[in-house]
Structure 1
Amino acid sequence: MMFNAGCWMRRLAVLATATSLLTGCATVGSDADRLGACPPVVEYSREFQARAAEELALLPENSVLADMLSDYAVMRDQARGCIN
């Protein structure tokens, strides 16, 4: 009985190791037509940005929306850095 338990433990360890190694290979697609890990960055016109700035200025002090927009700006900068 001990021999079988050891055999299964070894097989389980090999299976876990192989699964771990193979999942590391699957994180990036190899197709050229597919998008990579970098999200697209939407470009806004100057007029649109000016309107957004005016609306942002109308928000109350310590607005949650202003904090969220700040986070969004950081994410856009990161996406731009990812593409370049």
Structure 2
Amino acid sequence: MKSSARYSRRQLAALVIATSLLSGCATDGSDGSGPGACPPVVEYSREFHARAAEELDLLLEGSAIAEMLNDYAVMREQARICTVAGW
């Protein structure tokens, strides 16, 4: 009886996983606002860019924040390309 109980749990786990994976496919709205849509790119003024550059210069070389900002710049460029391409 133990083996059949274990088998039922495995079946249940597989069903839960399959349902979860398949339900993720149905979340994209037809209006393009779902998870597959391009994220918005916030526009900053020249003054804001200048202020951010000054603050970045004050950080220690190799700081975690500077590294995160580099990653953020890459993500912004990817979002911009996504928007232009109409994905």
| Equivalent residue number for residue 63 of structure 2 | 63
| Equivalent residue number for residue 83 of structure 1 | 83
| Equivalent residue number for residue 35 of structure 1 | 33
Higher-Rg member (1/2)? 1
Cα distance in 2 for residues equivalent to 1:60 and 1:25: 44
Give the counterpart letter for 2:81 in structure 1: G
Cα distance in 2 for residues equivalent to 1:72 and 1:47: 19
Cα distance in 2 for residues equivalent to 1:50 and 1:27: 40
Alignment CA distance shift 1:60-1:25 (3 Å): closer
> What is the Cα deviation at residue 28 of structure 1?
2.1
Q: How well do the aligned residues superpose, as a CA RMSD in angstroms?
A: 2.5
Structure 1 residue ranges without an equivalent (≥5): 1-11
Structure 2 residue ranges without an equivalent (≥5): 1-10
Q: Deviations along 1:20-63, whole A, 9 cap, x unmatched?
A: 9x547514211x3x624211100000000000000000101111
Normalised TM-score (structure 1):
0.65
Cα distance in 1 for residues equivalent to 2:60 and 2:24: 46
**Corresponding pairs, count:** 67
Give the counterpart letter for 1:35 in structure 2: S
What is the percentage of aligned positions where both structures have the same residue? 71
